Amino acid sequence: MRIVTSKQMKQIEQNSTQYQMSFLRLMENAGCAAARVIVETLHDVSGLNCVAFCGKGNNGGDGFVVARKLHELGANVTIVLTDGEPKTDDASKMLNIARMAGIPVFSFETEPELIPSTVADVDVIIDAVFGSGFHGEIDIRRRQITSMINSAIAAVFSLDIPSGINCDTGEAALDAVNADFTIAFDSYKPAHMLPKYLPNLGKVTLASIGIDPLSYTDVPQNHFVADDEFVYPLIPLRQPDAHKTSTGKLLNIAGGIGCTGAAILSSTAALRSGAGYVVTAVPQAIYPIVAPSLIQSPFCFIDAAADVASAITGASAVCIGCGMGIGQRQRGILEEVLYLAKCPVVIDADGINNLAMDISIVADAKCPVVLTPHFGEMAKICRTSVKEIQKAPLLCAQELAAQLKATIVLKGAHTIIASPDGRTFINQTGNPGLAKAGSGDVLTGILASLISQGMNPFDAAVCAVYLHGAAADRCTERMSEYFMQPDDILIDLGKMMKEHIR
């Protein structure tokens, strides 16, 4: 699956001109492809009242082609120019062809009083106002248009991206168009991968516009999703001479008074994910509570920063934070881990909450670091609000990864994993059954386990998040979203591993 930014898409289109393709031909192809999707969706457009809201750019040009094609198929089509006459030559040519075909054209700039009557009995709306180049906010005048579209009783088809959505970040402007159907041209854009965050998208369909495959050469893909074919080959295979320390030694610093379950869940998940030697490090006071539930795990006690040095020796990965509590003592333990660790460190939950005092220690660490915040924890360490994180989660994760030189796992309905080098994974697995306390502890255990077995932190994060969600999807079929508990998915994880590895 190809996912590109708006800038990369422009480069691909430019490249395509080297292979007997023109921008005018691309516009014709895009409009024809979108019209086909509309006809396939509605089955018959003959006699339907259709209004195409078209902006001044090439997205508007695509809309002119769609209008013409639907007109040819018997629809009653009207074009509304949202920003006056087109500003590009190709779009102007397409508008002239539509006019010659006899399609009525109104201008919102000069005839605003005529527009409400055009949408009074509309059946289909074509949203071609902004397209993939939009960013920022919609001005007051254009918000009249998007509000008109949103209030109409009609099937709304957005071309490439609903107007008002930043296709690179997923940020939705006030009064962005709420599409019933989004027709993505040639390649998915990052925002298309966020349907649970962006109800504006409706059903997303990818439409080919005839670009030569050679046009994608040398255009790097920084955004991607995963599937079974991507994930399972990355999971380390057991060697015939494997032993418990060669298959990963993980130190899990977790648990505290009142949060003993977090230590149990995270260590159990790590053991079930293949780590050969999982040492559970807890405060001595809770050992009698935790130990009976973790008979496969050796224990050590970490009550203060001074206890870290002996515990961390020989570890191939460390995870810290699950249920450990917040305070100066815990902060001191975290600082010592980041100071001493020579292996990757996964920081979750209360580990992240302790970082909120001073996040700079992550950037100063000599070891690779993975942070796994949910939106609330992300807001805390970024010193902003959850609402701001929700506006553009992709951008927030990418900026924090670059700032801290760490891998960021921003957990949510679409978990986002951002690498310091710009690579960004957008997860498509999982369901609301994971919206329970303890799910994050299980994910941390799986992630840290894979790292301890030798996977690099970014690949391990991608695989862990994908597997965690995929196992939850299976668990839901078996137990329902209501009944399933965080550790129930480990049974399904085991079945998946057996099917794909051994």
Q: How many structural domains is the chain composed of?
A: 2
Query: Do 232 and 210 sit in the same domain of this protein?
Result: no
CATH code, 87: 3.40.50.10260
Helix (H, G, I), strand (E, B) or coil at 370: strand
Quickly state the pLDDT bin for 338 (edges 50, 70, 90).
very high
Query: Do 92 and 37 sit in the same domain of this protein?
Result: yes
Q: What is the residue-averaged pLDDT of the chain?
A: 96
Neighbouring C-beta atoms of residue 55, cutoff 10 Å:
26
Query: Do 481 and 414 sit in the same domain of this protein?
Result: yes
Maximum C-alpha span of the chain: 84
Cα torsion angle, 416, 419, 425, 429, sign: negative
What six digits make up the tokens of 26? 């691309």
What six digits make up the tokens of 253? 């610093």
Residue that terminates a domain, selected from 219, 242, 272: 219
Query: Do 88 and 134 sit in the same domain of this protein?
Result: yes
Query: Do 319 and 170 sit in the same domain of this protein?
Result: no
**pTM score, whole prediction:** 0.95
Q: Is residue 452 part of a domain?
A: yes
Residue that terminates a domain, selected from 219, 245, 261: 219
48 backbone dihedrals φ, ψ, rounded to 5°: -75, 145
Q: Is residue 31 part of a domain?
A: yes
Average pLDDT over residues 231-253: 93
What six digits make up the tokens of 217? 């050469």
At 274 the pLDDT is 96
CATH code, 473: 3.40.1190.20
Quickly state the pLDDT bin for 202 (edges 50, 70, 90).
very high
The Cα 201–Cα 182 span in angstroms is 6
Query: Do 85 and 209 sit in the same domain of this protein?
Result: yes
Q: Is residue 271 part of a domain?
A: yes
Burial of 22 (0-12, 13-18, 19+ CB in 10 A): exposed
Query: Do 210 and 280 sit in the same domain of this protein?
Result: no
Q: Determine the structural domain holding residue 195 and report its residue range.
A: 6-219
Query: Do 185 and 265 sit in the same domain of this protein?
Result: no
Average pLDDT over residues 242-257: 94
Q: Is residue 10 part of a domain?
A: yes
Q: Is residue 1 part of a domain?
A: no
At 112 the pLDDT is 87
Query: Do 135 and 272 sit in the same domain of this protein?
Result: no
The upper half-sphere exposure of residue 379, i.e. CA atoms within 13 Å in the direction of its Cβ, equals: 11
Query: Do 236 and 354 sit in the same domain of this protein?
Result: yes
Q: What is the pLDDT of residues 445-500, one digit of tens each?
A: 999 999 999 999 999 999 999 999 999 999 999 999 999 999 999 999 999 999 99
Query: Do 161 and 238 sit in the same domain of this protein?
Result: no
Q: What is the pLDDT of residues 356-413, one digit of tens each?
A: 889 999 999 999 999 999 999 999 999 999 999 999 999 999 999 999 999 999 999 9
At 502 the pLDDT is 66
Angle at 467 between CA 345 and CA 410, to 5 degrees: 50
Query: Do 267 and 339 sit in the same domain of this protein?
Result: yes
At 114 the pLDDT is 85
